[in-house]
């Protein structure tokens, strides 16, 4: 369920941003999406291992690893996107009298 919601949000966000993005931002978004997709696979694998674990400690450990992988991928994807976003223009200097 969580993945479906994330996918829907991602599609909506990309659709809205597509019209005003430059080439570097589009490329960064594609790279960030790939990072997130790869992490989703790893998270799913860890969650499946957690479901199959024989002890609560093992389940909790694997769930924690899955959470960490997801958070790390989110930070990496954000950094990729931020690197392609142009910095705001500095405020014009006011002449001193």
Structural domain including 58 reads 22-83
In the predicted structure, residue 8 carries a pLDDT above the cut 70: no
Q: How far is the C-alpha of 1 from the C-alpha of 34, rounded, in Å?
A: 20
- Residue 27 in any domain: the answer is yes
The alpha carbon of residue 34 and the mean position of all alpha carbons in its chain are separated, in whole angstroms, by: 9
Residue-wise pLDDT tens digits, 51-83: 999 999 999 999 999 999 999 999 999 999 999
Q: Which residue has better confidence, 56 or 90?
A: 56
- Residue 89 in any domain: the answer is no
pLDDT band at 86 (very low <50, low <70, confident <90, very high): confident
Whole-number pLDDT of residue 14: 62
Q: How many domains does the chain have?
A: 1
- Residue 93 in any domain: the answer is no
């Amino acid at each position: 369920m969580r993945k479906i919601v994330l996918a829907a949000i991602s599609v909506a966000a990309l659709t809205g941003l597509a019209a005003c993005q430059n080439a570097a931002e589009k490329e960064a978004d594609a790279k960030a999406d790939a990072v997130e997709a790869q992490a989703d696979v790893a998270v799913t694998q860890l969650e499946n291992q957690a479901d199959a674990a024989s002890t609560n400690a093992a389940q909790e450990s694997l769930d924690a690893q899955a959470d960490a992988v997801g958070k790390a991928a989110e930070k990496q994807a954000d950094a990729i996107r931020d690197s392609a976003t142009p910095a705001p223009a500095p405020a014009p200097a006011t002449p001193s009298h």
